[in-house]
Chain A
């Protein structure tokens, strides 16, 4: 499968802790994006990292990309209850504009 494999499938942490979720893939990519989905609502774009980038930051989010290992991680620092959601990685292959989504990580942040 070309889609990203996300790990873990589910994660439960205490408010204030950091949350790390990972995405691995098999083919070469042009970019990798992370999206958040709140309980069955539409996905919201969080961050995009290109294949020639290794790390990007956006507020409390930090994304890394290791193209040699074909993996990416999303770190949410100082988590809040409002961060409770599902998080998806989406891959854009070199040969296509199509985005292929992983099956997601469900994050629960306990107050």
Chain B
């Protein structure tokens, strides 16, 4: 089954404790992206990757890092989480060509205390 898998689904942590949210897709998509969703603000793009070893900042990249060493994986790293990073996070990959459909993971609800 074609899917984007995110882990963990829920995460509670404390300020400053480094964490990684994993994302993996099995559709051989080149494009992957991370979003955060906050009430009233819709989805805002954090980082995206056009292909292996090619990453770029989205609209709200501060406080986040990503890496793309393999096509299927695109982890999101918070080196020193802060309470304002409490949010619902989504990873997505995009089908190629004219289809342009985004496939989303199930989300990671992060709380930073």
Contact = CB atoms under 8 A, between A and B. Distances in A.
A binds B: yes
Interface of A: 3, 31, 33, 35, 40-45, 48, 88, 90, 92, 97-99, 101-104
Interface of B: 4, 31, 35, 40-45, 48, 58, 88, 90, 92, 99-107, 109
Contact of A101 (B43, B88, B99, B109): B43
A98 to B, nearest CB: 6
Contact of B42 (A48, A88, A98): A88
Nearest to B90: A42
Task: Give me the 3 closest cross-chain CB pairs, A-B, nearest first.
Answer: A42-B104, A103-B42, A101-B43
A43 to B, nearest CB: 5
A91 B73 CA distance: 26
A43 B48 contact: no
Q: In the complex, which of the residues B42, B92, B101, B105 has the most CB atoms of chain A within 10 Å of its own CB atom?
A: B42
A101 B42 contact: yes
Nearest to A89: B42
A90 B105 CA distance: 17
Nearest to B6: A42
B107 A41 contact: yes
A41 B106 contact: yes
A43 B102 contact: yes
A45 B93 CA distance: 12
A103 B44 CA distance: 10
